[in-house]
Amino acid sequence: MNWRAVVAIFTYEMKRFFRTLFQSLISPVISTVLYFIVFGAAIGSRITQIDGVSYGAFIVPGLIMLSILTQSISNASFGIYFPKFSGTIYEYLSAPVSALEMVLGFVGAAAAKSILIGLVILATSAFFVPVVILHPFWMILFLLLTAITFSLFGFIIGLWADGFEKLQIIPLLVITPLTFLGGSFYSIHVLPEFWQNVSLFNPVVYLISGFRWSFYEISDVSLSVSLGMTFVFLCICLTAVAWIFRTGYRLKS
Amino acid sequence: MTSIIQIQNLSKTYNTGFHALKDISLDIKRGEIFALLGPNGAGKTTLISVICGIVNKSSGAVLVDGHDNVTDFRATRKMIGLVPQELHLSFFETVWDTIKFSRKLFGKPDDDAYLEKILQQLSLLDKKHSKIGTLSGGMKRRVLIAKALSHEPTVLFLDEPTAGVDVELRKDMWNVVRGLRDNGVTIILTTHYIEEAEEMADRVGVISKGAMILVEDKTALMKKMGQKKLTLTLEKPLVALPKKLAKFNLQLLNNGSEISYAYDVSKGKPDIAGLLADVQAAKIGYSDIHTAQNSLEDIFMGLVKQ
Ligand SMILES: Nc1ncnc2c1ncn2[C@@H]1O[C@H](COP(=O)(O)OP(=O)(O)O)[C@@H](O)[C@H]1O
Ligand SMILES: [Mg+2]
């Protein structure tokens, strides 16, 4: 293993994040505050409680997941797209760096960034609502798995994209709707049965459900199903990335 | 083993169906400067890209110091430094950060003294902490060279290093290249400027439309360059050359309206005065006289046109 290269890529990607630390963190913090004002105060005053948890506290895990998903994808997709776009990818390809090492560097950095942002949102939330984390270990595990899985997914998008529009389109058309419809702001049990069944096809439901369980022990689906599905998505993304590197798809002509 | 790079029956067809490299076999000798010459689109960059691992080959093999460049890519890539044709750099980084990054990417431990020496040689030391985006084109080219040298490669590829580069940098660069060669680094450079090959190379390879059409020692090529030609434009066409002129190596051209005298400056002084005297004595009138050198360019153009 060329660990020096892994560390170099990871550090390089993180440096970009820290160079713009203020912008990187201020926007998720502001949107979290806005969500609390809009959903927590306006809607929360009518809903008050879901499964015994105040509405404001209920949406915290969903808000964090929402950020983790969008941040992981945008960080990772941009991270690999940019060297492709600027041409500097030549150096990674001509260096003694394996596919695995590249993934560790790029995806590791994207996941680390989104986890940092997730933790900042968690801290921000604690100012507004009483947040409890009943199962910190599971909370961290879900955070890690989700961040890694969606960073891998973002990496794939970044490899596939040959223009800035393509970089935006998947997050916009697929991820945002799936997240909003995935129970970030409600329990899917409040939906009519038909839509509850439709929701079960939404992978994000499992992520949010498991994550919320680690906070409050309330969930839409059982913990083991959540965990199992999260691993399934992780494996799908890993397989796709492995295939991409084996064929050189969109990286090498 | 004297060959550092062995290219065996290498072919490349791009996804577009374009056949960019056609069955190329070539050995690069350890420690030589090899110039790869060819017009735009000949396949020079493609060949380098396949060797360096940026483009997948379609068939054939590339061995670097005996290691296959696909199955044993770590060994081969560690030896190779690449200066790409385009100025592919991240503009927000400083010169120092980018060369330190390059060295790490190649798995080498920090060695700031060595990196500073490279910057010094490339006259980049005062730009050490400048952002790359603020540098001129020539300076950016130097940064690319510094990046390629950062991991102490034993083989250096320079893809059109002097395209759009000022005279000063060209001189600097040749000094660096000579210094590297003196330290045993093998250098492969591509160019479509013949002077560049003439000035630097030990051997020259000519590539055209994806095929290697000639590989030769530069001195052998230069010999051909020693050939010169003197042409007399005659007032009246001749049917045949008079016997008197037989001792000169002459040809009658253009339906007898031109006499052409071929001579080799490397083989001593030509007897031009004697020729002209004999022509006059034979009562052959001429209206014009001119000489031409058979340059590498001519050889090259002749080859590429075929
Ligand atoms: N990625 C690619 N896909 C398809 N064709 C390509 C690609 N890269 C280069 N080519 C074609 O291959 C030929 C050789 O290109 P190149 O190796 O860059 O030539 P050179 O460096 O000698 O100018 C050109 O005709 C070019 O259009
Ligand atoms: Mg080229």
pTM: 0.84
Model confidence at B1: pLDDT above 60: no
Predicted pLDDT of residue A80: 93
Residue whose CA is at the smallest distance from ligand 1 atom 16: B43
Q: Under DSSP, is residue B72 helix (H, G, I), strand (E, B) or coil?
A: coil
pLDDT digits (tens, 9 = 90+) for B79-129: 999 999 999 998 889 999 999 999 999 999 999 999 999 999 888 999 999
Nearest atom, ligand 1, residue B47 CA: 17
Model confidence at B24: pLDDT above 90: yes
pLDDT digits (tens, 9 = 90+) for B59-80: 999 999 999 999 999 999 999 9
Model confidence at B297: pLDDT above 80: no
Q: From the candidates B105, B145, B147, B155, which should be mutated to test the interface with A, based on the most A CB atoms within 10 A?
A: B105
ipTM of the complex: 0.87
Q: Which ligand is nearest to the CA of B41?
A: 1
Q: Which residues of B touch A97 (CB under 8 A)?
A: 105
Which residues of B have a CB under 8 Å from any CB of A?
Answer: 14-15, 52-56, 73-75, 77-78, 80, 82, 84, 86, 88-90, 92, 101-102, 104-109, 147
Ligand 1 near B45 CB (within 6 A): yes
CB-count burial class (<10 Å; 0-12, 13-18, 19+) for B109? exposed
pLDDT digits (tens, 9 = 90+) for B147-180: 999 999 999 999 998 777 777 778 878 888 889 9
Fold adopted by B3-223: Rossmann fold (3.40.50)
Nearest residue of A to residue B12 by CA position?
A253
Q: Which residues of B touch A19 (CB under 8 A)?
A: 92
Measure Cα distances from B200 to A43, B154, B195, B218, B297 in Å.
76, 18, 9, 9, 16
Model confidence at B305: pLDDT above 80: no
Report CB contact under 8 Å: A86, B101: no
Tens of each residue's pLDDT in chain A, 253 residues? 999 999 999 999 998 888 888 888 888 888 888 887 877 667 666 766 777 778 888 888 888 988 899 899 999 999 999 999 999 999 999 999 998 899 999 999 999 999 999 999 999 888 888 888 899 999 999 999 999 999 999 999 998 888 888 888 887 888 888 888 887 777 777 788 888 888 888 888 888 888 999 998 888 788 889 899 889 999 999 999 888 887 766 777 7
Predicted pLDDT of residue A112: 96
If one compares A139 and B302, the residue with the highest pLDDT of the two is: A139
Predicted pLDDT of residue A125: 87
Q: Which helix (H) or strand (E) holds B25?
A: strand B19-29
Question: What CATH number has the domain spanning B227-305?
Answer: 3.30.70
Q: Would you kindly state where each structural domain of chain A is located, as residue ranges?
A: 3-247
Q: Would you kindly state where each structural domain of chain B is located, as residue ranges?
A: 3-223, 227-305
Predicted pLDDT of residue B303: 65
- Alpha-carbon distance A2 to nearest alpha carbon in chain B (angstroms): 6
- Alpha-carbon distance A12 to nearest alpha carbon in chain B (angstroms): 8
List, in sequence order, the alpha helices (H) in chain B: 44-52, 73-79, 95-105, 112-121, 137-149, 167-182, 194-200, 218-225, 272-281, 296-305
Which residues, including other chains, have CB under 8 Å from residue A158's CB and lie 6 or more apart? A76, A77, A78, A79, A80, A81, A84, A167
- Greatest CA span in chain A, whole angstroms? 60
Report CB contact under 8 Å: A252, B56: yes
**At A138, which amino acid appears?**
W
Confidence band (pLDDT; 50, 70, 90) for B226? low
How many angstroms is it from B14 CA to the middle of ligand 2?
A: 15
**What average pLDDT does chain B have?**
88
Task: Tell me which residue in A9, A93, A253 faces B53 most closely, judged by beta carbons.
Answer: A93
Q: Which ligand is nearest to the CA of B24?
A: 1
